[in-house]
C-alpha cells in the first residue's frame, strides 16, 4: 500500500508499497522530511516554492519529470510510466490568474491500485468539470490559499464534485506557510469526504 507524507504547503512525498520514493513539488519542510533518496520527482510548475529538485538526495537512476517535460506544447499533455511500470503519471490542466496554462500542470498518479490527483496551483479548470470529476479518483489534493489558487471554499465545493468515494485533502492553504488549520477546517465543513493532514503526518492511500 502506498503512503503519503505531507511536508507542508504544496510539498508531498509518496512512498510506494515496494519502498520507492516520489517527491511532488519539493520545497516546504526541514531536512528530515527530505532524507529519503528520490526515485522520482514530479514538478507541477516553476515557481520557487514547487521546484526545489535538489533538496533531497537522488537515488541511482532518479527520474525528474517537470511541467516542461509533461506539457511540452500548449496542446500536449503526456502520460508516462516510471519505477519499472510501478507508477503511471498523467499530466492534466492547471491554470488560473496567477498560473499560465502553458506553464503549469497537475498530475493524476496511478500506484498500487489507487489513483491520486495532485492538482498543483490552479483554479477550477474545464478538464476538471468535463473529465476528472467523473473518473472515480480515490484521492484528490487541492490548493486553497485564496491568493495564488482557489479559496478553501471553492476547493471544498469542487471536492464534492469528485464523488463520495473520493478522499479530499486541502493543501497550499497560506502563501509562504506550511499550513493553515482554520482554512483546513472550513474546507472540511463543506467537502464531502475530507481528510485533514497536517505537515509531518502520513496517510495510507487506501480506496
Q: What is the DSSP letter of 194?
A: B
Secondary structure (3-state) at 42: strand
SS3 labels along 53-122:
CCCCCEEEEEEEECHHHHCCECCECCEEEECCCCEEEEEEECCECCECHHHCEEEEEEECCEEEEECCCC
Supply the pLDDT for residue 80.
Answer: 98
Domain regions of the chain by residue span: 3-198
Q: What is the per-residue pLDDT across 67-96, written as a single tens digit (0 to 9) for each?
A: 999 999 999 999 999 999 999 999 999 999
Across 44-56, average pLDDT = 97
- Place domain 3-198 in its CATH homologous superfamily: Ribonuclease Z/Hydroxyacylglutathione hydrolase-like (3.60.15.10)
Q: Say how many residues make up the chain.
A: 207
For residue 11, what pLDDT band results from cuts at 50, 70 and 90? Answer: very high
Instruction: For the chain, give the mean pLDDT.
Output: 97
Mean of pLDDT values over 15-41: 98
- Which helix (H) or strand (E) segment holds residue 181: the answer is helix 181-190
Cell numbers 510510466: residue: 81
Confidence of residue 176 (pLDDT cuts 50, 70, 90): confident
Question: Is the separation of the CB atoms in 38 and 5 below 8 Å?
Answer: no
Amino acid at each position: 500500500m502506498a503512503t503519503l507524507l505531507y511536508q507542508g504547503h504544496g510539498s508531498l512525498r509518496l512512498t510506494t508499497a515496494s519502498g520507492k520514493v516520489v517527491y511532488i513539488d519539493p520545497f516546504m519542510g526541514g531536512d528530515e522530511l527530505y532524507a529519503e533518496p528520490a526515485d522520482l520527482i514530479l514538478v507541477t510548475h516553476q515557481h520557487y516554492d514547487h521546484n526545489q529538485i535538489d533538496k533531497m538526495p537522488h537515488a541511482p537512476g532518479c527520474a525528474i519529470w517537470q511541467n516542461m517535460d509533461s506539457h511540452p506544447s500548449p496542446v500536449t499533455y503526456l502520460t508516462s510510466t516510471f519505477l519499472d511500470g510501478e507508477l503511471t503519471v498523467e499530466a492534466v490542466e492547471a491554470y488560473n490568474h496567477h498560473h499560465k496554462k502553458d506553464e503549469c500542470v497537475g498530475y493524476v498518479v496511478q500506484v498500487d491500485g489507487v489513483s491520486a490527483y495532485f492538482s498543483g496551483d490552479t483554479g477550477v479548470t474545464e478538464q476538471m468539470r468535463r473529465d476528472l470529476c467523473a473518473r472515480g479518483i480515490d484521492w484528490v489534493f487541492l490548493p486553497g490559499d485564496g491568493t495564488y489558487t482557489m479559496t478553501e471554499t471553492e476547493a471544498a465545493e469542487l471536492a464534492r464534485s469528485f464523488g463520495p468515494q473520493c478522499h479530499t485533502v486541502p493543501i497550499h492553504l497560506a502563501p509562504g506557510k506550511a499550513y493553515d488549520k482554520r482554512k483546513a477546517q472550513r474546507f472540511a465543513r463543506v467537502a464531502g469526504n475530507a481528510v485533514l493532514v497536517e505537515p509531518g503526518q502520513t496517510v495510507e492511500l487506501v480506496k
